[in-house]
Each structure stands twice: as C-alpha cells, then as structure tokens.
Amino acid sequence: MSSNLCNIFPRVLKLSMETNNNTATTDLEKPSSSLISAVRNILRPLVKLLLTRSITFPYMSNLLKSIYVEVATEEFQLQGKPQTDSRISLLSGVHRKDVKNLRPEKAREQTIPPSVSLSAKLVKLWTNDPHRLDATGRHRPLPRLMSEGGGESFEGLVNSVSKDIRSRVILDEWLRTGIARIDEEGRVCLITEPLSAKKEFDEKAYYVGQNIHDHLCAASHNLFGQQPPLLESSIHCNRLTPESIAELDALTKKLGMQLLDEINQRAIVLEARDADKPEAQQRMNFGIYFYNAEKKD
C-alpha cells in the first residue's frame, strides 16, 4: 500500500512551485490561500484512507519529504547546471543532510521495505511465537489481560512490542477493522481471513494511485493556465432527496459505461494502428466518477 501511495501525490508540486516563466516562485512565505484551501480539501479523504489502513503521520511525513526531494530533483533542473543538494534543499525546504540521503538515484539502489505498523508487528509475533500457537501450529485465542494469562495474554503481546500504547486501544481498533474478535469466553481471536483479499486490495490501490494522479495532473495543468486546456469538469447538485440521488446514480452508471465503452473501442483501434510508429510514446487516461454525501450547510 505505501508504495502505491506515492502515485497519489503527483507532480502537482512542480506546478505549485513554479510561475509562468518556469522559474521557482520567490514568495514562498505567502502561498496562495485558495490553493492551500484546495490542498486541505484534497488531503482530508486521503488522510481518512491512510488512518483506515493504519498508516500514521510519521510514516507519511517521511514519504512526503522524499517526494519533495524527488520532484525538486527531476522537475526543476537548470539547463547546463548540476542539480546540487543545496539547490534541492532551497527548493523543497528539506534539510540538505536529508536531501543527500533521499536523492532518487540513491533510493533506486535500495529496496524500500513495506510499512511495518504496530499492528503488523503484533500479528507477526502472534502467528509465529510457539507460546501463542496451538498443537496444530495455528494461532490460538489469547486471554485479554495479563491478570488472566500473563505474558501470553493479548495485553502481554502488546506490552512485548510497545509500552507506549495500551492494549485496550489496539483491541478496539482491531475489533473495528475486523482484525480480531472476542469469542464467547471473552478471549481475543485473530482473524486472518481478510488477509486473503490483499491481492484484490493491492490492485484497487494501484488504480487509485494512477487515476487520482492523472486527475490531479489534469486539474493542475488547467489551474496554472497551461495550453491547451485538458478535459476536467464535473456537475454539482445540492438539496436532492435519496430517491433523486438513486436516479442520478443509475443514470451516470448507464451513460458513463456507454461512454467508456465507446472510447475504449476507439482507443483499441488507434493503439493497433499506432503500434509500429516511433512517435507512439503518448499515454492517456479518461475516467468518470460519481459521489454523494450529506450536504453540509
């Protein structure tokens, strides 16, 4: 998940840092209030998604820092001059010492490990510790408290990994997300079945990254007046009943799929026609979405 999330932050950073003459803005202390408001609005559902998957602020802070360095390195090179750590630090606001460690060419030499959250550590320990497995080698239910099961309890499991957070907090979150359940004896049971959906989730996450990346790139292209403008528009309606929402939902699905099918058929023909042409180096992405929620007055 975390590697795919890099795609959710497109090179919109480039556009927000440059002006029409392709030079970095000097008014960095006074960012556009309208742009900041838009970015806050964009980030809210993203942060909700991250918290749902237990991806915390410290992890995302480091990830965003690396993306600032990446974009500053690759998109803001001065012609005929090397892209130095000092210049990247000036552009991005990232400390020069961190820039040196985060430069893309160095990052590509390494295999970036997946995010290891506290929950992931606990699950790994529970499913691999012989003291927490039954005779068949399967993870067994654990008593909730150390007063009931000592170090082999759920509380003992949490304390063995971190004493900074109470086991009750972890348990509440696991119950909410379906990682665990409480059996009839009051023991904590680990649920591993949802893990089988990981492949499907990974595929969805990939396309979320691709689609939101391209949508934001199109919006940024238009926001900064680049030519020609790209198709990026939507319809907003307020004060609708649930029945009207259902009708519009059905209509958008019907017409939207018809449009996607028509464009896809034509794209297949054009892709076959262009296959052997050396200038066939362009890609495209066209998408449709529908969303409804309670209106906030």
Topology adopted by domain 118-196: Arc Repressor Mutant, subunit A (1.10.10)
pLDDT class of 54 with cuts at 50, 70, 90: confident
Range with the lowest mean pLDDT among 14-28, 146-160, 188-202? 14-28
Backbone φ and ψ of 186, nearest 5°: 80, 15
What's the burial of 12, exposed, middle or buried (CB within 10 Å: 0-12/13-18/19+)?
Answer: buried
Please give the model's pTM, rounded to 2 decimal places: 0.60
CB atoms within 10 A of CB 65: 17
3-state secondary structure 196-237: HHHHHHHHHHHHHHHHHHHHHHHHHHHHCCCCCCCCCCCCCC
Dihedral of CA 98/101/103/107: which sign?
Answer: negative
The structure tokens 């964009």 sit at 42
> Domain limits of the chain?
2-113+198-230, 118-196, 234-297
The pLDDT of residue 114 is 38
pLDDT in tens, 78-107: 888 888 888 889 888 998 888 888 876 554
**Are the beta carbons of 180 and 190 closer than 8 angstroms?**
yes
Q: What is the 3-state secondary structure (H, E, C) of 275-297?
A: CCCCCCCCCCCCCCCCCCCCCCC
- Contact predicate 110/80, CB 8 Å: no
Q: What is the pLDDT of residue 204?
A: 75
Share above pLDDT 90 across residues of the chain, in percent, rounded to a whole number: 28
Give the whole-angstrom CA distance, residue 101 versus residue 104.
9
Of 148, 183, 153, 187, the C-alpha closest to 167 is: 153
Q: Give the residue with greater pLDDT, 26 vs 66.
A: 66
pLDDT for 168-213, tens place per residue?
988 998 888 788 999 999 999 988 654 445 556 776 787 888 899 9
- pLDDT band of residue 74 (cuts 50, 70, 90) is confident
